[in-house]
Amino acid sequence: MKRIVFLTGAGMSVESGFKTFRGNDGLWEDYPVEQIATHEGWLANPTLVNNFYNRLRKKLYAAEPNEGHLLIKELEKDYDVTVITQNVDNLHEKAGTEKIIHLHGELTKVCSSKDPDDHRYIVELPADHCEVEPGQLAGDGSLLRPFIVFFGEAVPMIEPAAELVAQADMLVIIGTSLVVYPAAGLVQYTRPGTPIYLIDPDDTPTRASGRLTHIKKGASEGMKEFIKLL
């Protein structure tokens, strides 16, 4: 079976009601990125950060995958599909995709603020109890924080992601401005000659432009067009 690797970003979930990052002057869902997505922001005001992700988590539990997510799932019938996502939502999971790597964490989960990658303290919050209370502690006694990779923190999943990209027969990039590293660098791991498709309604800077087919559409319409090309 041919291996298709999808690399998805915020644009993948726009049609499910989530905003992108960069289109909004450094705001994410109306908040300055420095406040809610950096380590300094967390240290300055953990309650504000937890409240932000509490709200987003509630919104996520009410959201549905869009046709783009569902079409990716459907390709599993004929292809070996892996999704590498920069998104923290769980809409690829809700669509049923089996192999998913989250580069930047998962909104449904919370973790220790002393060591966010200590798996003993990573907990998934159920939909009916999905808020972190101010001062709530993780199993190791540190403040409970969202399981989100903040800017400036390590991205432990980048190595398995790079290996998958290196094995891909095709790479499909959907809805990412490819400016956030190290994720943006993944494109460079494709083998020479591997076809690369980009589904994004806007022009996106990428250094792989020589062998890139740009489908200039949103995620759902773009996926339909990509499937026609297969």
Active-site residue list: 104
Distance CA 88, CA 102 (A): 7
Q: Footprint of ligand NAD on residues 13-32 (CB under 6 A)?
A: 13-15, 18, 20-22, 28
206 binding ligand NAD? (CB under 6 A): no
C-beta of 144 vs 180, nearer to ligand NAD = 180
**187 is a contact residue toward ligand NAD (CB under 6 A):** no
Burial of 43 (0-12, 13-18, 19+ CB in 10 A): exposed
CB 95 within 8 A of CB 73: yes
Q: Give the neighbor-by-neighbor strand order of the sheet with 123-124.
A: 123-124, 105-112, 144-148
Which one of residues 202, 209, 213, 227 is an interface residue with ligand NAD (CB under 6 A)?
202
Minimum distance from CB of 137 to ligand NAD (Å)? 26
186 binds ligand NAD (CB under 6 A): no
Per-residue string for binding with ligand NAD, 54-83, x by CB under 6 A?
------------------------------
128 CB-near residues (< 8 Å, 6+ apart) = none
In the complex, what is the shortest distance from the CB of residue 120 to ligand NAD, in angstroms, rounded to a whole number? 24
Residue 220 and residue 67 in contact, taking contact as beta carbons nearer than 8 Å: yes
